[in-house]
Structure 1
Amino acid sequence: MERLQKIIAQAGIASRRGAEELIARGRVRVNDQVVTHMGYKVDPEKDRITFDGNPINLEKKIYLLLNKPAGYVTTLSDPQGRPIVTDLLPEINARLFPVGRLDLDTEGALLMTNDGALGNYVLHPRYEINKTYEATVKGMPSAAGMQRLAKGILIDGQKTYPAQLRFLVKSRSRSKIEIIIHEGKKRQVRKMFQAIGHPVLHLKRTAYGNLQLGTLSSGKYRTLTKNDLKKLFLGKIPFTIKNIPA
């Protein structure tokens, strides 16, 4: 038996807190009965759970690491008709969603899953999952500029958390810098370098935690194992997963 709000979150409908709000509003039914109190427990294999009259699909959980190319939007639909990341997964029948976002022009590691619990844990500030990027920037930032980014810099009225940075390539015309952050604000890395006068020319995410993109080709994906997820969370997976290879 599991708590109803946990089941809703695992189905990817809402976060745990969002699921509680949906339950309180009477939008969730168990065996055709509205449930509005928190802590209600259900058997996902026996009970019929619906949200706004639609059955909640507790399908087999899938975890993929995709190397997103530039030119794809990290959404499940796009009113402008641009390519979306799920276009790269034509043989996957399950309804997967991206965990977080990458800008249209940003490439690299993108987690895709149908497990809402994974998404909630990866994005929750409490777990501070590091994201590693390789940023090619115009010019060569000074030591003072790099120090500003490392300590945190004011962007859109908010100061960023400390970052880890190191040069991969130094050049007066353009430099490549590895930057590690655990936040996920919109266009954050680009805005950080713009703030010190060195706009990003190319950006690629190379890792979540210790889960590396490695040699995965652009536009390709691989299925993640339990050991991969442990790398993501630096050791212990903070939620229960079933039927996934070690």
Structure 2
Amino acid sequence: MDASYGDISKMIDHSLLNPTLTLTDLERGCRLAVAYDVASVCIMPYAMARCTELLSGSTVQPSTTIGFPHGGHTTAIKQAEAIRAIADGCQELDMVVNISKVLSNAWDDVREDIRAVIDVAHAEGRKVKVIFENCYLTDDHKIRLCEICGSLDVDWVKTSTGYGTGGATREDLQLMRAHSPAHVQVKAAGGVRDLDTLLDVRSIGVTRVGASRTAEILDDCRQRLGLEPIVSGDLKQGSTTGY
């Protein structure tokens, strides 16, 4: 490996979005994320305030979803979700595009939907990842979305929710990196379940991945680097539910 542990751990957004996770699962997941020092926890919106409390004092960012998972909320509701998430301490917002509008080629509406969340978030110094849900889109749709997101200065373009019919593919990641300006980062979600896959997408230029198998990925990373294992007790229970 030509990367440090921190290089790898800070690529991971630990996913706590499965609707069957209990409050106990969510709190355990936040503590696991701190133990492994990942980039962020992406948690269900109702738990955002508690997540912020649990991550306080760590370098792990609290994040949540907007318009998740289908993107069909009205723009006003997405903006309201963003305002509430920020009030609850959210630092990074993962928003789903209006997939129906994308498939209808209603590009002005798509742009304004994204802009509404970007304007709220960037005004407060927060970051936005825009989820395309590529499994439903053509390459032309994906390219147009990359162009729109680049013009709006989004922080990341993201492949998937993890709950569509497919997740991140190498081909999609290459396409998104090729058609996004340099200042827009790329996130893979859905399908990054082991260290080798993470290293592969990293080689393409991906800077974040959504994962629920965080402990397994980072335990492997530490073993390969000759580092002591992280003793996390019961934190790993249920850690593979989701992406």
Q: Same fold (TM over 0.5)?
A: no
Please identify the structure whose Cα radius of gyration is greater.
1
TM-score range, shorter chain: under 0.3
TM-score normalised by structure 2 residue count: 0.26
* TM-score, L = length of structure 1: 0.26
